[in-house]
Chain A
Amino acid sequence: MVLCTMIKLFKVKEKQRELAESANGKPPGKKQSAGELRLHKDISELNLPKTCSISFPNGKDDLMNFEVTIRPDEGYYLGGTFVFSFQISPIYPHEAPKVKCKTKVYHPNIDLEGNVCLNILREDWKPVLNINTIIYGLYHLFTEPNHEDPLNHDAAAVLRDNPKMFESNVRRAMAGGKGQKAVHLRSSIYQSFCYKFETPPNFTGTDVTGKQKAVCQLSQ
């Protein structure tokens, strides 16, 4: 069967070339990879909770790069706004999307470089999962941060040992990060403060500096 096909194949090659040469122009644009098509499906079937929204910075025809904004409506991160960038590989869903957190956040599972520790983004990714699953997974990180698999070690330790302090640390970080209540604090003062959330009580003890006091007050 295959053999016959092949023989015919070479017989008709000649004709094919003639046809190809006389055929009119090809339509513009490149063929989409199977990955792009699958992504198209995922995107068109998104069913996001009202706390999550999606945007396409490069317009409607570039679905491979997009941003997801999460505004948790409960938990430690209530009131915060967190932006994640998604980068999709041409062989999606064989390979998981690359997700980075663009908002600097004080979180046990997200480090200050924006790396996110979510199992389905790496070791537990499977092609049956989709973009919707990942967004729900990210949302879940904000409602239930997990101190057992930390990426930001300090934040995890605080969450484990002193949830109250964790909560106030989160509040402070968000107040600074959002830059609304404390606009002037988006300076190097806040930056250094943000990088060095210490497990020991920086804010309760006697060694609070004047600047840090200001932070505390402003965020309340």
Chain B
Amino acid sequence: MEVSKARSAGAESSDLGIAESPADQETSTSSSSGPATLLARTLSPVQKLLFQLVESKLSRPITERRHKRICESFGGGAGGLGCELLKDLALTGFKYLDVIDMDRIEVTNLNRQFLFRLEDVGKPKAEVAAKRVMERVNGVNITPHFCRIEDKSLDFYSDFSIIVLGLDSVEARSYINAVACGFLEYDSEDNPREETVKPMVDGGTEGFKGHARIIVPGTTPCFECTIWLFPPQVKFPLCTLAETPRTAAHCIEYAHLIKWNEVHGSRSFDPDSPEDMQWVYSEAVKRAELFGIPGVTYSFTQGVVKNIIPAIASTNAIISAACALETLKIVSGCSKTLSNYLTYNGVEGLHTKVTEFVRDKDCLVCGPGVLIELEKSVTLKKVRLCFFLQLYSYNSYTFIAVILTVAGHLRFTYAVQQFIDLLEDHPRLLLTRVSVTHRGKNLYMQAPPVLEEMTRSNLDLPLFELMGGVAKDVIHVNGMAGKGDKKQSCLRKLRVVFRGVDVIADIDMAGGA
């Protein structure tokens, strides 16, 4: 009760507007009756000030909602974490939340996903969860989205100030990480531009184990920087499944991976169809009987086929609580945040550890890449134009003195070094045998021959045109880096900026620096 009272008081004070000068903030601290005062007892004066400042932002009126919506997604095996997170964030005082989930409620969810009741089975999780939390917590606005996270546009995600994840797969995390890091821009000094930073808080549980981490793109490692933390999924050898099954899981995977295709041909298995699951189960039972293997049950079949990980409600609660508090700290700045990866392991005894992972500075997803400035006329490789006069060459640079355009104008251009040659000489790259890709379009592939042939014609074209005529964008190149014996293959991200195309880009640079 106290909490909700405090929040409504906060909302009133917010109507006065926000973020005046720091001095104003300090004077208003004493008179405020918002949650800041409740917390203020334990905070130093500086923290008090900061917290007050952000607290007023948190409770700004609805017209400002774009600033404060929290995207929180929960799906599949992590639905338990999602329920906890939504409840925790709402009770923490976040007023505008969005939740995405593509699943419908199943009976087996009910033991831990406490927002759902038996009569909700079959309804979309996102919608029911949003409704229940709004009923329970005064003044919170939750917008549910019953869809896949991939279905939402980039604009949708760009609206949020922070993204809290309760996802259940490497794929989904990898996707949302790429989206959030995609907003990140760097200035000309390779420092992240703060206004483009979209922080994420990620939680995950598996039985008695769990993790909570914060990802501040450009500052802390992103998901891709540390993807090696995830062990590969256990996969049984097909021949074991076909020939020498030893466990119940082997029998189930045999029915799922081998027998299914034999019988159903091209129709792919649908893990959400009870008939398909029943078929796999009965085939697995037959197989288990044949080899005298015990332990094949319907629920175990589901577990193996859908890769269901046992979920424990209290582990979810612990991880969710950590995530919610870190979210509060990031948004409010009321205290130092977790740095940057918390593991919780309650399998034997209880161990928790915070590890400060470091960024991969060459990370393709969150790293700055190498900044390259180019003229619009630079082609991928070949010297272009219908007619030109090459005066002299020097040190692999091709100097073109006079270029006669089709229209007959005389134009002076200097030192037109073509893009791929430029990478070879660039001190930070020294790349040879270069292949270039831009937003899923392969601009040039130096191998295999079949692709080289398909992309060769691009060599004549200006990069500016190939990249769709934008002032700046990221492209990726790979090839052999280094000199002499120390050559090694590498894949690099490049930020290409074309000179004299876009005025806004220049202002950006100046502002960020």
CB distance from A59 to the nearest CB of B (A): 7
Q: Is the CB of A12 within 8 A of B195?
A: yes
- Set A10, A15, A96: member contacting B54, Cβ < 8 A: A10
Q: Is the CB of B216 within 8 A of A27?
A: no
Our count of residue pairs bridging A and B at CB distance below 8 angstroms stands at: 203
- Known contacts A2-B337, A33-B174, A13 near B447 by CB under 8 Å: no
Q: Is the CB of A125 within 8 A of B239?
A: no
CB distance from A114 to the nearest CB of B (A): 8
* Chain A residues, Cβ within 8 Å of B469: 27
In the complex, A98→B73 CA distance in Å? 29
* Chain B residues, Cβ within 8 Å of A28: 439, 468
Q: Is the CB of A44 within 8 A of B219?
A: no
Any chain A CB within 8 A of the CB of B511? Answer: yes
Any chain B CB within 8 A of the CB of A200? Answer: no
Q: Interface centre among B235, B438, B448, B479, by most A CB within 10 Å?
A: B448
Q: Is the CB of B195 within 8 A of A16?
A: yes
The B interface, classified by DSSP as helix, strand, loop or mixed, is: mixed
Q: Is the CB of A115 within 8 A of B258?
A: yes
CB distance from A18 to the nearest CB of B (A): 10
Q: Is the CB of A117 within 8 A of B238?
A: yes
Any chain B CB within 8 A of the CB of A30? Answer: yes
Any chain A CB within 8 A of the CB of B364? Answer: yes
CB distance from A62 to the nearest CB of B (A): 9
Q: Is the CB of A24 within 8 A of B502?
A: yes
Q: Mark B192-229, 1 if CB is under 8 A from A, else 0.
A: 00111101000000000000000010011000100110
* Chain B residues, Cβ within 8 Å of A63: 442
Q: Is the CB of A44 within 8 A of B339?
A: no
CB distance from A125 to the nearest CB of B (A): 6
Q: Mark B466-494, 1 if CB is under 8 A from A, else 0.
A: 01111101101011000000000101000
Q: Is the CB of A119 within 8 A of B237?
A: yes
- Set A8, A23, A91, A153: member contacting B243, Cβ < 8 A: A153
Any chain B CB within 8 A of the CB of A95? Answer: yes
- With both beta carbons as reference points, the residue of chain B lying nearest to A33 in the complex is identified as B178
- Known contacts A10-B57, A119-B237, A149-B237, A48 near B448 by CB under 8 Å: yes
- Set B178, B333, B336, B478: member contacting A40, Cβ < 8 A: B478
Any chain A CB within 8 A of the CB of B390? Answer: no
* Chain A residues, Cβ within 8 Å of B194: 5, 8-9, 12
Q: Is the CB of A34 within 8 A of B440?
A: no
Any chain B CB within 8 A of the CB of A54? Answer: yes
Q: Is the CB of B454 within 8 A of A115?
A: no
- With both beta carbons as reference points, the residue of chain B lying nearest to A46 in the complex is identified as B448
In the complex, A93→B242 CA distance in Å? 26
* Chain B residues, Cβ within 8 Å of A44: 435, 445-448, 451, 478-479
Q: How many residues of A contact B (CB 8 A)?
A: 72
* Chain B residues, Cβ within 8 Å of A61: 440-442
* Chain B residues, Cβ within 8 Å of A36: 440
Any chain B CB within 8 A of the CB of A45? Answer: yes
Q: Is the CB of B239 within 8 A of A150?
A: yes
- With both beta carbons as reference points, the residue of chain A lying nearest to B231 in the complex is identified as A94
In the complex, A151→B243 CA distance in Å? 7
In the complex, A36→B178 CA distance in Å? 12
* Chain B residues, Cβ within 8 Å of A160: none
- With both beta carbons as reference points, the residue of chain A lying nearest to B259 in the complex is identified as A113
Any chain B CB within 8 A of the CB of A188? Answer: no
- Set B195, B224, B435, B445: member contacting A13, Cβ < 8 A: B195
Q: Mark A25-57, 1 if CB is under 8 A from B, else 0.
A: 111111111111110110111111000011110
* Chain B residues, Cβ within 8 Å of A16: 195-196
- Set A9, A47, A95, A119: member contacting B233, Cβ < 8 A: A95
* Chain B residues, Cβ within 8 Å of A56: 450-451, 454
* Chain A residues, Cβ within 8 Å of B219: 1-2, 5
CB distance from A94 to the nearest CB of B (A): 6
Any chain B CB within 8 A of the CB of A207? Answer: no
CB distance from B304 to the nearest CB of A (A): 15
In the complex, A12→B182 CA distance in Å? 18
13 contacts between A and B (CB under 8 A): A2-B339, A12-B195, A13-B195, A27-B473, A30-B440, A34-B227, A41-B478, A44-B446, A44-B448, A94-B174, A113-B261, A117-B238, A127-B228
Interface residues in chain A, defined as those with a beta carbon under 8 Å from any beta carbon in chain B = 1-3, 5-13, 15-17, 19-20, 22-38, 40-41, 43-48, 53-56, 59-61, 63, 89-91, 94-96, 109, 111, 113, 115-117, 119, 122-123, 125-127, 149-151, 153
Known: A2-B219, A60-B445, A127-B232. 10 other contacts (CB 8 A): A3-B333, A5-B219, A26-B470, A29-B441, A31-B178, A38-B491, A45-B489, A54-B450, A90-B171, A151-B242
